[in-house]
Amino acid sequence: MPEKFYITTPIYYPSDKLHIGHAYCTVATDVIARYKRLQGYDVMFLTGTDEHGQKIEDKAKAAGVTPQQYVDNIVEGERGVLDLWKLMNISYDRFIRTTDDYHVSAIQKIFKAMYDKGDIYKGKYVGKYCKPCESFWTESQLKDGKCPDCGGEVQDAEEEAYFFRLSKYADQVQDLLENTSFLEPRSRVNEMVNNFIKPGLEDLCVSRTSFTWGIPVDFDPGHVVYVWIDALFNYMTALGYMNDKYNDLDTFWPADVHIIGKEIVRFHTIIWPAMLMSMGLPLPKKVFGHGWLLLDGGKMSKSKGNVVDPYLLSEKFGVDALRFFLLRTFPFGSDGSFSNELLIQTINIDLANDLGNLVSRTTAMVGKYFDGTLSAERRYEKERDDELVSLTTGLRSRYEQAMEQYAPHKALEEIFKVIQRANKYIDENAPWILAKDPQDRPRLASVLYHLLEATRICGILLTPFMPESMDKLFTQIGAGPDCRTWESAGIWAALPEDTAVVKGENLFPRIDAEKELAELEAISAAAKRAALPQLEIEPLTEEPVDFDTFCRSDFRAVKVKACENVKKSDKLLRFTLDDGTGVDRQILSGIAKWYKPEDLVGKTLVAIVNLPPRKMMGLDSCGMLLSAVHTEKGEEVLNLLMLHDAIPAGAKLC
Ligand code: ME8
């Protein structure tokens, strides 16, 4: 029986189309899953979508559809999540959606079980909530009053809610983090312990009543289950935990590894193990927190218009080249800065030059000098051959070591050392010179055979990264199924002596960097423009006003002495103003929607002071305050004109 291996990606929020950062996480997981399959493991690779929560409810409302319709479109619609994983050749075995019925009812049972145990209890939540992150924070956890994860604004939150006794598991979780290799890279352990556990783990609010798009707490209508309980247990419900849909729990739980991004390490290494401890379930063996792909120095975000579209890049450069680039360029545990230059440079140097040339030169020479089928005669030259042979035969174990440490970038580095050595070997042995002397034919056959072997072994180990291209490579170098296996990657001279090559297409064509960069630049500039708020301003008035009429309007600087809401009006603010005359002036202005009265006291504004007084809500308004008005996303936005405070009250504007 093959050994089992269970690996997961995070389940993605289908709140917007996915970008290259999401693809990075999934491709990495796919590479590890394929590597384990290559080694002979029976792999279960799970991915999916995390579809509940207020953010999705809000987005659906803005789009004028139901939340279910909204997520269905992003998951199953054209160029949605499923399409993207198909395009990127993601070999997942199972896809879970948290709106799937079996998951919903399982989560209700899990919530009830923790409640019955006393680990979930009812209380009152007072704290802060970050909508984009769907996270609750206590005052002390905020950074400068903002969400510690995304730096965004948080809202006050107070409501009746259920709590999970996270505090009860603090010591056990700290022990798990500090004394086992549960969390990797180890550098993330300190952050978890020092920032979250040592200051004191508070019980976690695990239900909401302020929105409805979630899994209902079935024994208390009005409450929906906190999205992270719903989301984290996907890793088990997808195997059949608390449901009859699947029956793989005994085979695959505990998970061998959860691959996740660094910002959700807290949920996976504190909350998740604590809940499993509460349920008396085995813990996953490892959580690996990878870094972020950054763009323009920050995390990609749709609202900034700086997301990179994996569809576009795959169409332009090929899926395998993109997969390769993501893992070759950025150390997996750290952040990396994405750029189109880097992408094109990596493809041109590593794939077109180094690997592509090795394959095309070698197969072309077997074609030219041996009519495509290598002769069996050989002449080895120890001092010329040993280095390449020993470097290549040791490759599999160096590669394995790197892959086992979740360091695919290191594994690729090892492969490219061999590819570069093989290219050098061509130059050292100059087959074109050997080809001139019939006596050197056995030597020529040996040199080309060595090159084919080095290419074959690199090809096997590159298969998890670039499955389709390596298939083509094997066909070109004449490597049959037996010569493509993990076992054969550890064996030198697996190819038949009279191996036959097949001339094929150029695996990695060179990219015209200048042309492609200009095109990508134009696309990205257009995306940034499109992300800018759509501003609308009123058309300019064409009818002229004569100069004398204009000059009769008296514009003055006025200082706000007092400001308050007008009773029974949700629009009007009542201003008491110093207009420089020594007598207070009262103006009413319909700007309560945009300003809090207390924020305006002391400000220097602009008023027209010679309008006839008007009565509003029984009060006199003597003049008008000037504002700039525009429309943004269909909503009117108003900004009061404010002057420098050094300008005295009563100063005339002309
Ligand atoms: O966090 N670089 O979903 P998500 C690298 N639903 N990785 C990135 C990235 C970037 N620029 N942007 C996003 C969630 N990711 C939850 C998970 S699991 C029980 C619930 C990664 O769609 C991110 O780090 O916001 C995370 O690991 C994954 O994409 C999903 O992010």
- Give all domains of the chain, ordered by start, each with its CATH number: 4-52+59-98+231-304 (3.40.50.620), 103-229 (2.170.220.10), 333-490 (1.10.730.10), 547-643 (2.40.50.140)
289 CA to middle of ligand 1, Å?
11
Q: Candidates 18, 25, 294, 296: which one to mutate for ligand 1, based on the most atoms within 8 Å of Cβ?
A: 25
- Residue whose CA lies nearest to ligand 1 atom number 14: 12
Residue 302, pLDDT above cutoff 70: no
Range 431-468 burial, b when 16+ CB lie within 10 A, else e = beebeeeeebbebbbbbbbbbbbbbbbbbbbbbbbbbe
How much is the pLDDT for 632?
Answer: 78
Instruction: Give the lowest-confidence range in 101-115, 144-158, 188-202, 204-218.
Output: 144-158
Specify whether the CB–CB gap between 137 and 147 falls below 8 A: yes
The 3 state secondary structure assigned to 231-282 is: HHCHHHHCCCCCCCCCCCHHHHCCCCEEEEEHHHHHHHHHHHHHHHHHHCCC
* Cis status, amide bond into 467, omega within 30 of 0: no
How much is the pLDDT for 305?
Answer: 67
What is the chain's mean pLDDT, rounded? 94
487 pLDDT tier (thresholds 50, 70, 90): very high
Q: Which residue is associated with the tokens 């019980």? A: 203
Nearest ligand 1 atom to alpha carbon 231: 19
Other Cβ atoms closer than 10 A to 135: 22
562 vs 151, residue with greater confidence: 562
- Of 18, 13, 84, 101, which is closest to residue 51 (Cα–Cα)? 13
Rg of the chain's alpha carbons, rounded to an integer? 33
How much is the pLDDT for 558?
Answer: 97
- Residue whose CA lies nearest to ligand 1 atom number 26: 261
Q: Candidates 47, 264, 335: which one to mutate for ligand 1, based on the most atoms within 8 Å of Cβ?
A: 264
495 CA to middle of ligand 1, Å?
43
Nearest ligand 1 atom to alpha carbon 293: 2
How much is the pLDDT for 393?
Answer: 97
- Residue whose CA lies nearest to ligand 1 atom number 4: 12
547 CA to middle of ligand 1, Å?
61
Specify whether the CB–CB gap between 232 and 268 falls below 8 A: yes
Nearest ligand 1 atom to alpha carbon 13: 22
d(CA 56, CA 266): 22
Q: What type of residue is 269?
A: T
Residue 88, pLDDT above cutoff 70: yes
- Residue whose CA lies nearest to ligand 1 atom number 3: 12
Q: Candidates 12, 229, 293: which one to mutate for ligand 1, based on the most atoms within 8 Å of Cβ?
A: 12
> Reduced to 3 states, what is the DSSP secondary structure of residue 644?
coil
Q: Cα(first)–Cα(last) distance of the chain, in Å?
A: 90
263 CA to middle of ligand 1, Å?
8
Beta bridge partners of residue 294, listed in sequence order: 299, 337
Residue 365, pLDDT above cutoff 90: yes
How much is the pLDDT for 534?
Answer: 66
648 CA to middle of ligand 1, Å?
54
Largest CA distance in the chain: 114
Q: What type of residue is 487?
A: E
Nearest ligand 1 atom to alpha carbon 267: 19
Nearest ligand 1 atom to alpha carbon 294: 11
10 CA to middle of ligand 1, Å?
7
- What percentage of the chain carries pLDDT values higher than 90? 83
Beta bridge partners of residue 293, listed in sequence order: 336
- How big, in percent rounded to 5, are the helix, strand and coil portions of the chain? 45, 20, 35
d(CA 586, CA 606): 13
Burial tier of 321 (Cβ tally within 10 Å: 0-12, 13-18, 19+): buried
Residue 559, pLDDT above cutoff 90: yes
β 635-640/257-261 pair status: unpaired
- Residue whose CA lies nearest to ligand 1 atom number 31: 12
Nearest ligand 1 atom to alpha carbon 235: 19
Nearest ligand 1 atom to alpha carbon 12: 22
22 CA to middle of ligand 1, Å?
6
Tokens linked to 72: 């269905």
- Residue whose CA lies nearest to ligand 1 atom number 24: 261
282 CA to middle of ligand 1, Å?
25
Q: Which residues line ligand 1 (CB under 6 A)?
A: 10-13, 21-22, 24-25, 50, 231-232, 234, 260-261, 263-264, 292-293, 299-300
Tokens linked to 433: 């010179």
- Residue whose CA lies nearest to ligand 1 atom number 29: 22
Average pLDDT over residues 420-449: 98
Residue 134, pLDDT above cutoff 80: no
How much is the pLDDT for 139?
Answer: 79
Nearest ligand 1 atom to alpha carbon 272: 19
- Of 283, 281, 285, 277, which is closest to residue 168 (Cα–Cα)? 277
Dihedrals φ, ψ of 213, to 5°? Answer: -80, 75
Query: How much is the pTM?
Result: 0.82
Nearest ligand 1 atom to alpha carbon 50: 6
Residue 608, pLDDT above cutoff 90: yes
70 CA to middle of ligand 1, Å?
19
21 pLDDT tier (thresholds 50, 70, 90): very high
Nearest ligand 1 atom to alpha carbon 232: 19
pLDDT tens profile 90-128: 999 999 999 999 999 999 999 999 999 999 999 988 888
Q: Candidates 19, 22, 56, 110: which one to mutate for ligand 1, based on the most atoms within 8 Å of Cβ?
A: 22
252 CA to middle of ligand 1, Å?
23
